[in-house]
């Protein structure tokens, strides 16, 4: 591992928001907030029963609206403010806790809970209110085409051109709180490593498929990440 870095890329997953009280993705029985993943997070499910899928995300909004960033989100913001490098955040999370922590350079590759996208014209609507199959697009005026701006299984990820560029050009890749079972995000570390980055993973436990990481730090991200950030910052003040 190097002593200092010029471009740092974080990949964050549901685990970084766990200490803010938000449930992570798959429990052992394959449920997400008490629903089958197949019923609420696939494009097939959305076409089959849009109202059911809308209800699921509408019901989730108040909890995500009220959630507060924790020490792990704030540590990344501190790094962005105080460390002399470009720091980017690729997040799989649909919550807005990085924004609430006042971070910048955030790429929501799986979308955002507070957005809907018109499948007719592509217009993105920002709203914490309910979106239903009767919502009318403000741009094209068509009703019933506003989909939650959540990337479902079976759909393309967002910002992939930017992500690819970041993975190829960063010198440090940091994964935080992701089980790395959801592809292609699970393979980002491989690209970063291949192009020469140091790679480090923060998770509660050892993840599978993790040989591309130079280092694993186990524990709660709210405890381990602030220490890591302070360590990087202390090397700047030493130099």
> Is residue 135 within the footprint of ligand NAD (CB under 6 A)?
no
Non-local CB neighbours of 53 within 8 Å, separated by 6+ positions? 39, 40, 45, 46, 148
110 assigned to active site: yes
Q: Which of the ranges 47-55, 136-144, 152-160, 199-207 carries the binding residues for ligand NAD, by CB under 6 A?
A: 199-207
Distance in Å, CB of 19 to ligand NAD, minimum: 5
> Is residue 93 within the footprint of ligand NAD (CB under 6 A)?
yes
> Is residue 177 within the footprint of ligand NAD (CB under 6 A)?
yes
Distance in Å, CB of 211 to ligand NAD, minimum: 16
Task: Say if CB 4 and CB 87 are below 8 A apart.
Answer: no
C-alpha distance from residue 93 to each of 17, 24, 68 (Å): 8, 10, 14
Residue showing the smallest CB distance to ligand NAD in the complex: 15
> Is residue 17 within the footprint of ligand NAD (CB under 6 A)?
yes
Task: Count the Cβ atoms, other than its own, within 10 Å of residue 115.
Answer: 20
Total interface residues for ligand NAD by CB under 6 A: 27
114 versus 135: smaller Cβ distance to ligand NAD: 114
**Given 88, 98, 110, 216, the catalytic residue:** 110
Query: Where on the phi/psi map is residue 224: left (φ > 0), alpha (ψ -120 to 50), or beta?
Result: alpha
Distance in Å, CB of 138 to ligand NAD, minimum: 25
- Asked if the bond preceding 184 is cis, omega within 30° of 0, the reply is yes
Task: State both tokens at 195.
Answer: 């192009």
Task: Count the Cβ atoms, other than its own, within 10 Å of residue 238.
Answer: 8
Q: Which residues are catalytic?
A: 110
Residues of the shown chain interacting with ligand NAD in the complex, contacts defined by CB under 6 A = 13-15, 17-19, 22, 24-26, 92-95, 110, 177-179, 181-182, 202-205, 207, 220-221
């Amino acid at each position: 591992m190097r002593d200092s870095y010029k471009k740092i890329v974080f990949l964050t997953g549901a685990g970084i928001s766990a200490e803010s009280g938000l449930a992570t993705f798959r429990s052992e029985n394959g449920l997400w907030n008490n629903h089958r993943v197949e019923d609420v997070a696939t494009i097939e499910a959305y076409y089959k029963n849009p109202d059911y899928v809308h209800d699921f995300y509408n019901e989730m909004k108040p909890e995500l609206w009220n959630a507060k960033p924790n020490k792990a989100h704030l540590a990344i913001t501190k790094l962005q403010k105080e460390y002399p490098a470009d720091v980017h955040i690729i997040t799989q999370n649909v919550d807005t806790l990085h924004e609430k922590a006042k971070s910048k350079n955030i790429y929501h590759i799986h979308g955002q809970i507070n957005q809907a996208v018109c499948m007719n014209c592509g217009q993105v609507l920002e709203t914490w209110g309910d979106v239903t199959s009767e919502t009318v697009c403000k741009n094209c005026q068509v009703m019933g085409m506003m989909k939650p701006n959540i990337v479902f299984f079976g759909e393309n990820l967002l910002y992939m051109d930017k992500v690819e560029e970041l993975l190829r050009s960063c010198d440090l890749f940091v994964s935080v709180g992701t089980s790395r079972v959801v592809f292609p995000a699970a393979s980002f570390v491989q690209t970063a490593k291949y192009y020469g980055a140091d790679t480090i993973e923060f998770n509660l436990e050892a993840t599978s498929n993790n040989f591309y990481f130079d280092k694993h730090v186990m524990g709660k991200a709210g405890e381990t990440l602030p220490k890591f950030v302070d360590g990087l910052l202390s090397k700047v003040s030493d130099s």
